[in-house]
Amino acid sequence: MEITNVSEYEEIAKQKLPKMIYDYFASGAEDQWTLRENRNAFSRILFRPRILVDVSKIDLTTTVLGFNISMPIMIAPTAMQKMAHPQGELATARAASAARTIMTLSSWSTSSVEEVNSTGPGIRFFQLYVYKDRNVVLQLVRRAERSGFKAIVLTVDTPRLGRREADIKNRFTLPPSLTLKNFEDLDLGKMDKTNDSGLASYVAGQVDRSLSWKDVKWLQAITSLPIVVKGVMTAEDTKLAVQAGVAGIVVSNHGARQLDYVPATINSLEEVVKAAQGKVPVFLDGGIRRGTDVFKALALGASGVFVSNIGRPVIFALAADGEAGVRKVLEMLRDELELTMALSGCTSLKQITRNHIITDADSLSKL
């Protein structure tokens, strides 16, 4: 079957992957309302295209934290990618490098920071969970620095793991042939099989529930890498993040896998952008399936988007066709964004403005 859009990879992945693994990547928390809303919210944003603009040349290049990339589409952290494909994070890293964009490696990757670095040059960020044992965190940050990672993406929405009922029913655990590679030498690379979710039990035992803004300062003190906070959804927390001196913010609801019935990230984006007041770049993840989605996020003030938070397009493409699948996803999203820009009358990312879209809030304001 010829793949014509990124969503078509999901059915292929569903057929290829064991049920426990497919469900882990595909599911959300509790009623999965936010999981559906992450997608549905994009469909309620409409375009206001401009016409008779010379769009014979379109520039998608941009800069993120000072790094030049080919497009405002980057790869979000997704844990345990070797469950999807034997090459896992190594294939994803190579695909991102070939597309000249950024890959974010999960703390809970099944390839170590050193192994990912060995795939060759590329701009890579490292996503961090803060463990109760701060020496574990210190070692991991040092290893990421030595392996050439360019930023730390601190996940701030996971003091406990959200209730993911598919994982409970499946008694999810990491397959015995795999380990959380970054923690292998610390005897923290395995999950125990439990009567519910092995990952939930692992998080309860290892992740620090006391994490607070003072720990952002602690992290800044142990590394010279820029700190991006991932999991911000409100203006109040945006202002605190700016005060803490972070380098960037990712508007994220953890792929709808933490607290159900929070808004779609695209619906929270504008609030965060306004509160940031241009002091730090704001990025978005969650729900991106089309180049039109990327355009809408940029129009609402995002500096770029991260695709495939906790699975979805990148991971399904990886399962279906390895590195080639991930390359294809990035290529399709890039081409769709370029087409959307052309049909909207924009020749560069800077020309994409709030006036190019209509949201539910705009419609209500006219009543």
Residue holding tokens 């306004």? Answer: 274
Is residue 356 annotated as a catalytic residue, yes or no? no
- Residues of the chain below pLDDT 70: 309-311, 363-367
Domains along the sequence of the chain with CATH: 6-359 (3.20.20.70)
Which tokens sit at 244?
């803490």
pLDDT of residue 186: 82
Which of 254, 208, 207, 247 has the alpha carbon at shortest distance from 228?
247
Which tokens sit at 81?
């990618």
**What is the Cα–Cα distance from 107 to 288, expressed in whole angstroms?**
22
Which tokens sit at 116?
């990912």
**What is the Cα–Cα distance from 325 to 88, expressed in whole angstroms?**
12
pLDDT of residue 366: 62
Which tokens sit at 162?
């959200």
Q: Coil, strand, or helix at residue 347?
A: coil
Which tokens sit at 131?
């463990």
**What is the Cα–Cα distance from 127 to 330, expressed in whole angstroms?**
20
**Could you tell me which residues come within 8 angstroms of residue 328 by beta carbon, excluding any fewer than 6 positions away?**
3, 317, 321
Which tokens sit at 299?
């129009």
pLDDT of residue 256: 94
Q: Is beta strand 62-64 parallel, antiparallel or unpaired with respect to 248-251?
A: unpaired
Cβ atoms of 248 and 65 within 8 Å: the answer is: yes
**What is the Cα–Cα distance from 361 to 307, expressed in whole angstroms?**
25
Q: Supply the pTM of this predicted model.
A: 0.95
Which of 53, 55, 75 has the alpha carbon at shortest distance from 64?
75
Which of 251, 255, 228 has the alpha carbon at shortest distance from 314?
255
Instruction: Exactly one of 82, 181, 254, 289 is catalytic; name it.
Output: 254
Residue holding tokens 């005060």? Answer: 243
Residue holding tokens 């603009």? Answer: 53
Cβ atoms of 256 and 159 within 8 Å: the answer is: no
